[in-house]
Chain A
Amino acid sequence: MTEHFKKRITEFFLTFCIATTGTVFVSAVYINIFWRGALLDPDFLWQNLLLCFVCSLCNFIHPFQESSRIRVWLNIGARYLYINVVILGSGHLFRWLDIKNILMLAVMMLEILLVFVMVSWVMWQLHKKDSERLNEKLQEYQRTGGRT
C-alpha cells in the first residue's frame, strides 16, 4: 500500500469520525424541531452511521485534476453537492425528510452545511499543524544540508 493511499484511508476514517460527531448534534436539533415527541425507530441510528460513511467517501471524489486553485474549489463543490444529494435523497427514502416541506428542507440543508464546514475546519487545522511541522523539518533539513 502506498503512503499516499494510507494517508487517504486515514483521512477517510478521520472524516467519518468528525462527521458522525457533528451529525449527532445536528440530528438532535432536527428531531427537536420537527419530530419532537415522536417515537424514534432505532434504525435511525444505523441510517445515520451509514450516511456518514457514504458521505465520507467523498474524500475519494476528484472529478477535476487539482492543478489549480479553481479546480480544488470545483472538487470541494462537487463533494458538497454529492453530500447534499446523498443526505436529502436518503432522508426522503427513509421518510425523516419531507422534501415538499420547505422549512424542513432548508433546516436540513443548513445542517449539512454546518457539518461540512465543521469537518473542513478540523481537517484544515490538522493540515495547518502539519505544515508547521513540515517547516520545522525544512529548516532542520536546510541547516544540516539534507541530513535529516
Chain B
Amino acid sequence: MKITIQDIAPGEEEEIIVRCRNLDEALLRVIHEIKTRRGKFTVSDKDKIRQVDAGDVYYFEAVDNKVFLYLEQDVFEVRYKLYEIEAEYENTDFFRASKSVIINLAKVRQFAPEFGGRFEAQMMNGEKLIISRQYVPALKKRLGM
C-alpha cells in the first residue's frame, strides 16, 4: 500500500483521504484509532476555549437541550448535538447508551445488571450510567456477542 504524506500550509485543515477497493477490518481499525485518538472537542472552560482529546472523554450527556462532556473529573459544555457526536464518532469507542447519554467504552470498568433488562455502566472514574433496554442489543452487537 502506498502512503503519501503532504505538507500543508499553516492554518489549513489536516485531512486524511483513504483510497481503497474494500474497507476491510484492518483499515476500519486504523480509522477507528485515528478518529478516537486524534478527534478533538472544542469546549468552553470559563472564559477560555480549549480542546479536549476524544480519547479522554468519559461520556456525553444531554440535559435541557445542552450537551455536556465529562472527563475524569471535569465537565464542560459543548456546542455539538448528541446525534452529531454519534454520527461523527461512529465505529469508534463512543456508544449511544440512552436517549441522553453517549459513553466511551474504553472508559467503562464494568457492566452491572439492573432491573427492567437494563445495565449499569460503571465508569473508571466511579460514575454510574444507565444503558437503556432499547440500546442493549446494539451494545451486545458492538462487543461481538
Q: Which chain A residues have a beta carbon within 8 Å of chain B's beta carbons?
A: 2-4, 6-7, 11, 66-67, 69, 72-73, 75-76, 124, 127-128, 130-131, 133-135, 137-138, 140-142, 145-148
Complexed CA–CA distance, A145 and B104 (Å):
12
* Set A7, A75, A128, A141: member contacting B116, Cβ < 8 A: A75
**Does A7 contact B137, Cβ atoms closer than 8 Å?**
yes
The DSSP consensus for interface residues of chain A is helix
Total inter-chain residue pairs, C-beta < 8 Å: 79
Chain A residues with CB under 8 Å of B118's CB are: 66, 72
Given A4-B137, A127-B113, A142–B105 Cβ distance below 8 Å?
A: yes
Starting from the known contacts A4-B137, A66-B116, A138-B110, 9 additional A-B residue pairs (CB-CB under 8 Å) come to A7-B136, A76-B115, A76-B116, A124-B115, A131-B111, A135-B111, A137-B145, A146-B93, A146-B106
Give Cα distance in the complex from A142 to B123, angstroms: 13
Q: Which residues of A contact B108 (CB under 8 A)?
A: 138
Q: Is B10 an interface residue (CB 8 A)?
A: no
Q: Tell whether, in the assembled complex, residue A137 and residue B143 are in contact, meaning their CB atoms are under 8 Å apart.
A: yes
Which chain A residue lies CB-closest to B133?
A66
Given A141-B105, A142-B105, A148-B144: A134 and B29 interface contact (C-beta under 8 Å): no
> Are the C-beta atoms of B133 and A134 separated by less than 8 Å?
no
State in angstroms the CA–CA spacing of A14 and B11 once bound together: 60
Q: Is B139 interfacial (CB 8 A cutoff)?
A: yes
Residues of B within 8 A of A (CB): 25, 29, 32-33, 92-93, 98, 100, 105-106, 108, 110-119, 130, 132-134, 136-145
Partner of A148, one of B100, B119, B143: B143
Which residues does chain A contribute within 8 Å of B93, judged by CB atoms?
A: 146
- Residues of chain A contacted by B140 (CB below 8 angstroms): 134, 137
Given A134-B111, A146-B32, verify A72-B143 contact (CB < 8 Å).
Answer: no
CA distance A2 to B105 in the complex (A): 23
Q: What are 15 residue pairs bridging A and B, where the CB atoms are less than 8 Å apart in the complex?
A: A2-B137, A3-B137, A3-B141, A4-B137, A11-B117, A66-B132, A69-B115, A76-B116, A127-B113, A128-B113, A130-B113, A134-B111, A146-B32, A146-B105, A147-B29
Give the chain A neighbours of B33 by CB distance below 8 A: 145
Q: For the complex, what is the distance from the CA of A130 to the CA of B139, rounded to whole Å?
A: 12
